[in-house]
Structure 1
Amino acid sequence: MLKNTVRAGLLAGAGALALNAMPAFAADTAPAADAAAEAPASDASAGEKGLTEIVVTATKRETNLQKTPISINVVSAETIKDRHVQSLLDLADGAVPSLRVATFEARQTALTIGIRGIVPLDANQPAREQGVGVYIDGVYMGRQHGLNAALFDMERVEVLKGPQGTLFGRNTEGGALSLVSKAPSGQFGGRISGGFGNYGSYNGEIHLDLPEYHNFSVKLDGVAQYQGATVKNPLAGQTGWNYFDRRGGRIAVRWKPTSDITNDFSYDNGWDSNSPFYSQLLNKNPNGCVAGPVAANSKCVAPGTAFTTLTGTVVQPPSIVVVNGQTRMKVADIGVPQQPSIDRTHGFTNTLKWKVSPELELRSITAWRGVTSEQWDNSGGAHRVPVYAANAPFSRYSLANLWQHQFSQELQAVGSVGIVDYVAGVFYFNEHVSDNAATPNSNIWNADGTGYTINTAALQNPFASIDRASVANSKSLAGYAQATVNPTEALHITVGGRYTHDEKKGTLVTFRNAANGNTLDKTWNKFNPMATIAYDVNDGLHVYAKYATGYRAGGASSRSPTYRGFDPENVKSYEVGLKSDFWDHRARFNIAGYIMDRKNSQVDFNAIYVSGSSNVNVLETVNVPGVTKIRGIEADLTVKPVEGLTLNASYAYTYTKLPQVTNPFTGITQNVYVVFTPRNAASGSIDYAHPIGTNGAEVRLHLDGNYSQATQTFDQYATKNDASVVFNGRLALADIPVSSTGQKLTVGLWGRNLFNTAYFYRRDPSNSLPAFAVGTTGKIGGVLGDYGNFNAPRTYGLDATINF
């Protein structure tokens, strides 16, 4: 009774806030600089002095964002340019406050993507799933590997707040990230861009539209992005840290044999060479661990343990090891062997649309995709276990290979009959993934700790000892339907549902260099309903209430010696929102409030085991009993007070609370946390354009600022990362005519992290606490200190674009 009363009160409060705020709703806002942006504008847009209409495809049909009763943010092509967004990792600065993007560990080879507090810690294993679905042109991406590839010619990025379990399917509890590419236009044109910047960076793009020929239109895209290491490696000839070299190409062909049939085919191929962010040692024995009885107020206590006595000695690191928790290091203290990690991505997509009648359009989306990843991560040096011992190995070189390929087929029927708009479809997905990993220690200390040598014997065949190897196969079959009834011009009632059948089979082939053979063979069936009531108060004010569900498939941890399995998690969401245009379409205000209850939350516990010359990362995933509470408010405001000036502000409040859970390593109940989810986050931007002369040229200025409160890195530790405030900017001379045939030149000066703000986006306390063990005696021989990763330093450059 009390729970229902509180729930009703929160929803009513959010609804009242939305209505009293008057201007609009928050769910579908366009973060910093996107409400005025570049998404396609309709003929009904407010005119030159007003804000442009934004078209989205979140409901599987083109709709006006402001009239779509879904919480959405849109990152437009112009926003991508202004923020110098080259890959999805560049959105980690908080352009969309409720969207969180982070590296897994320190690596750029796999991205962790979360929305609304649904953020998995380690979803990069073959038998594990993400909590946010990532789609490229309607095709679901099965792995988080390869997501940091260079972006091609994006029309927009839609951030669909979750859950999105009805139209988008499983693994969309937090929502969906939908990347929409620019399609062939059938008219000759394009653009060429190039630029350079600090750290030896350069980038180049070519986008070419060819004229339609015999009903065929072709578009070609090529991109190259390079940045040298921002932290140097003292070992000659070895790769430093935070380096990338991305290249890719895409060809899109549109065949339109009749006015009712459109068939789009595309092929893309990407290559990403990169290195991890550098892991610094932030402090030395910060919790004051000493041998003996554990005092009542001791900080040397690992969560999930009940140690009463500590044994061993905290070893002091050699003097050449730098302890620095204040500034971003430019040169590492220890030179280590490290070669670039390589991601290779490719994909074929065919999208067929047939307008059978005014009431029905049939669609088919067929795709084959694949990714291979070769990881070479030696970011920790002497900052991770094992700690110093004379003539002993150190510096954990984390090596891993992953191979994935997937096939998906989706059939849709979209149309309108009378007062009913409908979407129905079936979806099939088949994925095969395998991986292996090894962690040799790459360096050896000299006897007195004043120097070190390279562990050449271990590196001659680094995969001689395999930490783990696994293989997994996933199949998913789903059917869904959604209908919107419009009994009046103002009232819209939507109901829908999706039934999903999932199969997952896997085998842990090897663990700690021994044959294992533990298997996973599970089947899950799930029905996800949704319902929405939307009402158009007037042309500029729209309100809605929504109930939605979603689920994230279960799986197994290949970092677990028993290949421990875990069940799916399920989410129910209650949301109210308001969207509005006002002040003669010069302003938009959107606000949404939501309550999400998640059952069987999947949380991770990890520990490092030292084994001879390697260190094995053991990770156990368990389902949390009870209900995880996620509550939030999202608000966005866009104002165009005068011609040429656009102001944006976005805010997200996210409250999360998980029930306590038993630590699988110790059997003791402890608190757990949602990672990379700030309680408060905000973003704002200023865009100003002023004409020069009468030939259409203008000066354009963009400035954005992004704030995030401190967050946790690990499910099992309360330790938080730093809060952050980051500014980006761009100043451009745009649309300068360079010929009488329409070619125009734009020259821009851009900067990211303009004030060179340094903060730890990832902090790991596992090396500063007693080792996990069962019983009351803890060991402190492996205690060293917290280590973590700074954000990227200030980068800046000059670029030029010619449109033709």
Structure 2
Amino acid sequence: MSAAGIAHAQSTPETGSRADGRETQQERNSAMSDGEIIVTALKGGVSAQKVPVTVNIVSGDAIVSKGLTSVEQLTAAVPGVRINQAPGGLVNPVVRGLGSSPSNNSFEQTVGLFIDGIFAGHPRDYSAALFDLDRVELLKGTQSAVVGKNTSVGALTLVTRKPNFEFGAEGSYYHEFELGTDTLNAAINVPLSDSFAIRLAGLYSNEGGWMRSAFGGKDTPSVERTAVRLTARYSPNVDLDWTMSFQYADMSLDGQFFRTGIDTLGNSRRNAVLGGDTGYTLERFTSRNTFRTGFSYRGLDRIGGENDGIRLNSTLNYSFGDITLTSVTGYSEYDDIFIIDAADMVNSPVLRAGFETDKAFSQELRLATDPSKPFSLLVGGYYYHDKWTYEDLFDFNGAQMTAPSLGGAFQSSYRQTTETFSLFGQLLYKFSDRFQVSGSARAERFNKDGDYSARTIQRPGGLTIAVYGAYPAFSRTGGKSYFDYSLQGQYFITPDTNVYASYSTGTKGFGFVATPTSPGGVVTDPFFDTENSRTIEGGIKSNFAPGSSINFAVFDTRLRDYQIGVNLGTRFVIRNDQVRSRGAEAQVNLQIIDGLRASMTATYADVKKIGTLPANSIRGLPFAPKWSGIANLAYETGLTSELRLKSDVTAEFRSSQALSDATTFPLARVPGRVRTDIRLGVEHEPSGVEVALIVRNLFDVYALNYGFNQAGASGAAQVAEEMPRTIGVQASFRF
């Protein structure tokens, strides 16, 4: 399967058939129908080509074949989502030019992440390892009712592979020569009886860095990931199917994803020279990361980070007649530590360290009638409880800087509890074989409590007085009720072509800034308001020939009180802005000849703030190119009776974009770019063994994907560079 807008028909179903040949209800809801892929995130068991929403699906096989190991790498495979690196190991997911800013750790995500139907609400959850996936589903537009929890502009769903009732195993090893990356994937499926099976899967990856550290001689950032998942499935008959899984994952980051990349006024170099680094230069792929001897925070004594956590999932489906009862239970927890240098200086670093812990529990119960009937109904309830703690340490060693008033150090701590209870429902009525309407609604009660420990001053300085002063312990609390809904109408011109229109609303709850400013010891109000979204969408979907389809949609999304954070180098500005995204999307899949496929997904999104423009803010939004997408050409053919050639070329593109919302950022926009990846493999079909050459960023295109103002150096900025060209070989097997 290539990275097309709709997954190709050879993608494997989510679950394997029972040994007795009968399908379970879960399999009927998740398998393909007449060569089309079923969207499981919408809970209705409907083909992606027949749902009134824009959806992109990529198979797990495609993820592995590209050598991808983490959620932030999905930009290269999933059309329509852009995930950018940010300081502290955070990421910035964007759909249709909209996404939560990574400048505030306490934001929930505007683009919601779901793992096997379980909501993952924190930016750190996007560091999840990718392995043994059945598929990735991206739903665009406001999703308020049935995906599991409200999302403002989209939902990214990871669906892991479930055990089936046939013995099997698979694995792959990837070695990349330029950066020295090694990746190992493996899985084994064992049926213990005709009703009980287990699956054990794991990942190890050690990704090399591409920026040479001037101190220590390391290539950074290097990322090491280890993950393992055990899944058990019990299915004694066609009416009962119960899947349970346990996952442990660990991520270690050595270095950081950004460096000083802009110095228009020479202040960054001046600071470096004052600190004794007379040889300071800005060079491509050269980092100035400082590994400060003696600095330690929670046991981490280097620039970088550590994250480890567990996930437990239970999904129970029980059918009685035409009604299916589903219970989805999730629990997760993680610990995360990071240290970054936001000034990139040898003797005058600006260090920020953070420590996060999170424990989240969710329970969803729903009843659904047979979606193939003229009238179908889905109703349910959802409960979510999250306890999150965050400790922050800033150390502004600015005594030798051009802005010496930035000196000082402080430490603060914040604890947050979020509790949500909601009732939801969805109704579908088919007036005829051609015309149908549907509607959904969600009523939600949202409560949040924030407890701030007393901020302590570790070292007095100008910054601790002017921006981050000491304050006593205090608490904030609040609760609100929300009601969101959607309406869809759909008309089938032919069985293979339909037009649709939809209107949907959504809500992302209010919150409190984890690290508030406190000039002179007076705390700035840490509250940020609820984010409300509304999306209008209309489109056409058509399968016009075997293996070929074309989809087109227009959309208009309005965000009232859009939650945005801006990193100014020495402080963070948190606002509620008024924003809209308006544009169109096209998906084309062509089966040109037997074995040759072409596809392209393109998005045009005009994103801007509406109404009064906030002070010192650009009219648009950062990370919002007007044009973006993925084009793919895949060809397969038999070389001999046993050998098969598999080739794939993917071009991921975007137009120019801003990197910061602040007008003081020294680079207004970065130019557009096209990144080209190729894969050339030969498979020995009888044994299931394949060897492939993988080249990413074939033409070594240089591009920036993140930036923020450098502390203590006006006209200078820290930037994150996209990965340069890499060349690797992958060997895989499956039986």
What TM-score do the two structures reach when normalised by structure 1?
Answer: 0.79
**Match of residue 604 from structure 1:** 565
Name the CA distance, whole Å, in 1 between partners of 2:607 and 2:472: 37
How far off is 1:339 after superposition?
Answer: 4.5
Does the alignment pair 1:753 with 2:729? no
**Match of residue 691 from structure 1:** 638
Q: Which of 615, 619, 638 pairs up with 2:572?
A: 619
What amino acid is the match of 1:414?
Answer: A
**Match of residue 356 from structure 1:** 320
**Match of residue 711 from structure 1:** 657
Instruction: Report the CA distance shift for 1:782/1:153 in structure 2 as closer, same or farther (over 3 A).
Output: closer
The CA RMSD over aligned residues, in Å, is 3.0
Q: Which of 72, 83, 94 pairs up with 1:101?
A: 83
Name the CA distance, whole Å, in 2 between partners of 1:171 and 1:467: 34
Compare 480-489 and 256-265 and name the one that shifted more.
Answer: 256-265
Q: Deviations over 1:723-766 (max 9, x none)?
A: 221111111111443xxxxx321111112112211111123346
Q: Which of 65, 89, 98 pairs up with 2:72?
A: 89
**Match of residue 47 from structure 1:** none
- Structure 1: tracts of 5 or more residues without a match: 1-28, 44-49, 290-312, 384-392, 447-457, 459-463, 609-616, 738-742, 768-780
Q: Give the secondary structure class of the aligned counterpart of 1:407.
A: strand
How far off is 1:336 after superposition?
Answer: 4.9
| Equivalent runs, 1:192-211 vs 2, <5 Å | 192-198=171-177, 199-211=179-191
Q: Give the secondary structure class of the aligned counterpart of 1:783.
A: coil
What amino acid is the match of 1:658?
Answer: K
| Equivalent runs, 1:536-575 vs 2, <5 Å | 536-561=492-517, 562=523, 563-575=525-537
Name the CA distance, whole Å, in 1 between partners of 2:638 and 2:567: 57
Name the CA distance, whole Å, in 2 between partners of 1:749 and 1:155: 23
Asked if the contact 2:269/2:281 (under 8 Å) is kept, the reply is: no
Q: Which of 203, 213, 226 pairs up with 2:193?
A: 213
How far off is 1:317 after superposition?
Answer: 4.5
Name the CA distance, whole Å, in 2 between partners of 1:56 and 1:745: 30
Name the CA distance, whole Å, in 1 between partners of 2:149 and 2:540: 27
How far off is 1:801 after superposition?
Answer: 1.1
Name the CA distance, whole Å, in 2 between partners of 1:538 and 1:683: 28
Name the CA distance, whole Å, in 2 between partners of 1:639 and 1:231: 40
Q: Which of 790, 795, 798 pairs up with 2:721?
A: 790
Instruction: Report the CA distance shift for 1:652/1:114 in structure 2 as closer, same or farther (over 3 A).
Output: same
**Match of residue 11 from structure 2:** 38
Q: Which of 320, 323, 334 pairs up with 2:278?
A: 320
**Match of residue 311 from structure 2:** 347
What amino acid is the match of 1:122?
Answer: P
How far off is 1:124 after superposition?
Answer: 5.1
**Match of residue 636 from structure 1:** 587
Instruction: Report the CA distance shift for 1:375/1:755 in structure 2 as closer, same or farther (over 3 A).
Output: same
What amino acid is the match of 1:593?
Answer: V
Name the CA distance, whole Å, in 2 between partners of 1:435 and 1:398: 13
Name the CA distance, whole Å, in 2 between partners of 1:322 and 1:445: 15
Name the CA distance, whole Å, in 1 between partners of 2:212 and 2:342: 11
Instruction: Report the CA distance shift for 1:644/1:525 in structure 2 as closer, same or farther (over 3 A).
Output: same
Asked if the contact 2:214/2:286 (under 8 Å) is kept, the reply is: no
What amino acid is the match of 2:427?
Answer: A
Asked if the contact 2:508/2:532 (under 8 Å) is kept, the reply is: yes
How far off is 1:334 after superposition?
Answer: 6.1
Name the CA distance, whole Å, in 2 between partners of 1:234 and 1:273: 21
How far off is 1:32 after superposition?
Answer: 5.9
**Match of residue 657 from structure 1:** 608
**Match of residue 363 from structure 2:** 409
How far off is 1:512 after superposition?
Answer: 5.5
Name the CA distance, whole Å, in 2 between partners of 1:787 and 1:340: 16
Does the alignment pair 1:430 with 2:385? yes
Name the CA distance, whole Å, in 1 between partners of 2:431 and 2:732: 49
Q: Which of 117, 130, 142 pairs up with 2:121?
A: 142
How far off is 1:501 after superposition?
Answer: 0.6
Asked if the contact 1:281/1:323 (under 8 Å) is kept, the reply is: no
Q: Give the secondary structure class of the aligned counterpart of 2:166.
A: coil
**Match of residue 350 from structure 2:** 396
Compare 207-216 and 30-39 and name the one that shifted more.
Answer: 30-39
**Match of residue 284 from structure 1:** 263
Q: Deviations over 1:614-656 (max 9, x none)?
A: xxx43232223xx422102010101011000010111101111
What amino acid is the match of 2:574?
Answer: T
Name the CA distance, whole Å, in 2 between partners of 1:705 and 1:188: 37
Instruction: Report the CA distance shift for 1:620/1:445 in structure 2 as closer, same or farther (over 3 A).
Output: closer
Name the CA distance, whole Å, in 1 between partners of 2:352 and 2:529: 29
How far off is 1:73 after superposition?
Answer: 0.5
Q: Give the secondary structure class of the aligned counterpart of 1:80.
A: helix
Instruction: Report the CA distance shift for 1:283/1:498 in structure 2 as closer, same or farther (over 3 A).
Output: closer
Asked if the contact 2:420/2:444 (under 8 Å) is kept, the reply is: yes
Instruction: Report the CA distance shift for 1:744/1:605 in structure 2 as closer, same or farther (over 3 A).
Output: closer
Instruction: Report the CA distance shift for 1:715/1:339 in structure 2 as closer, same or farther (over 3 A).
Output: closer
What amino acid is the match of 2:532?
Answer: N
What amino acid is the match of 2:152?
Answer: E
Name the CA distance, whole Å, in 1 between partners of 2:271 and 2:253: 33
Q: Give the secondary structure class of the aligned counterpart of 2:310.
A: strand
**Match of residue 727 from structure 1:** 676
How far off is 1:538 after superposition?
Answer: 0.7
| Equivalent runs, 1:201-280 vs 2, <5 Å | 201-213=181-193, 215-236=195-216, 240-280=219-259
How far off is 1:486 after superposition?
Answer: 0.8
**Match of residue 190 from structure 1:** 169
Q: Which of 327, 332, 337 pairs up with 1:369?
A: 332
Q: Give the secondary structure class of the aligned counterpart of 1:66.
A: helix
Name the CA distance, whole Å, in 1 between partners of 2:345 and 2:180: 28
Q: Deviations over 1:680-716 (max 9, x none)?
A: 1121011000112223x30000110111122223333
- Structure 2: tracts of 5 or more residues without a match: 18-22, 24-32, 294-301, 402-406, 458-469, 518-522
Q: Which of 50, 54, 61 pairs up with 1:67?
A: 50
Name the CA distance, whole Å, in 2 between partners of 1:688 and 1:366: 42
Name the CA distance, whole Å, in 1 between partners of 2:307 and 2:391: 15
What amino acid is the match of 1:635?
Answer: A
Does the alignment pair 1:579 with 2:529? no
Does the alignment pair 1:439 with 2:394? yes
After TM superposition, what 4+ stretches of structure 1 lie above 4 angstroms from structure 2?
313-317, 333-337, 441-446, 660-663, 668-672
**Match of residue 771 from structure 1:** none
Does the alignment pair 1:166 with 2:166? no
Q: Give the secondary structure class of the aligned counterpart of 1:270.
A: strand
Q: Deviations over 1:748-790 (max 9, x none)?
A: 11121122111111233466xxxxxxxxxxxxx8435233121
How far off is 1:167 after superposition?
Answer: 1.4
Q: Which of 325, 329, 337 pairs up with 2:285?
A: 329
**Match of residue 114 from structure 1:** 94
What amino acid is the match of 2:659?
Answer: T
Higher relative contact order (CA 8 A, sep 6+): 1
What amino acid is the match of 1:732?
Answer: G
Q: Deviations over 1:59-116 (max 9, x none)?
A: 20322111122110011123213432221111234x44431211223x4x32221212
Name the CA distance, whole Å, in 1 between partners of 2:284 and 2:398: 23
Asked if the contact 1:32/1:684 (under 8 Å) is kept, the reply is: no
How far off is 1:379 after superposition?
Answer: 6.4
What amino acid is the match of 2:703?
Answer: Y
Q: Give the secondary structure class of the aligned counterpart of 1:623.
A: strand
